[in-house]
Amino acid sequence: METIHWKDCEDVKVEKFPYRGEMNDVIGTSIRWMSKHGDDGHGYPEYGLRYFTIQPGGHIPIHNHFYIQTMYIVAGEFECWEFDPETEEKVKTETCGPGTSIYIPSMQPHGMKNIGNEPGMFLCCICNVYDDEESL
């Protein structure tokens, strides 16, 4: 068993995130890796739990990734977006506050913005899934 307090994890500022070969600006966002295990062969962990902090007005632009994720809003208010994978148009916007859970399937374009006046925090669990049993 391993234990760690979130404040003891390094707070790493995120400046850019890729989407379709371009690096896009990430504003007012930092991540603390609370756990990170395994390697999916693409540079991502098999499983990870992250603690995000997004400052007021900060945002994570449109992006997608192989792993699935579930986010749980701890504090703050976020506008969360789902984009059409073909047109990149917003197809869904949800306002999410504390206690809200958000599931993002593999490769679904998404993003979010802190629309509150205080820093917003959420936990984000990532996990890779595979199409066939041989990959397990």
Report domain extents, the chain.
31-128
Cα 45 to Cα 41: distance, rounded to the nearest angstrom: 9
Q: Does the pLDDT value for residue 66 go beyond 90?
A: no
What CATH topology corresponds to 31-128? Jelly Rolls (2.60.120)
Q: Does the pLDDT value for residue 33 go beyond 50?
A: yes
Q: What is the reported pLDDT for 37?
A: 82
**Binning pLDDT at 50, 70 and 90, where does residue 47 land?**
confident
List, in sequence order, every residue forming a beta bridge with 72; answer none if it has no partner: 101, 123
Q: What is the reported pLDDT for 105?
A: 94
Q: Does the pLDDT value for residue 129 go beyond 70?
A: no
**Which residue from 24, 29, 82 is spatially nearest to 58, judged by alpha carbons?**
29
Q: Name the percent of the chain lying above pLDDT 90.
A: 79
CA angle, 115 then 119 then 120, to 5°: 70
Prediction pTM value: 0.88
Q: Which two tokens stand for residue 56?
A: 């007021």
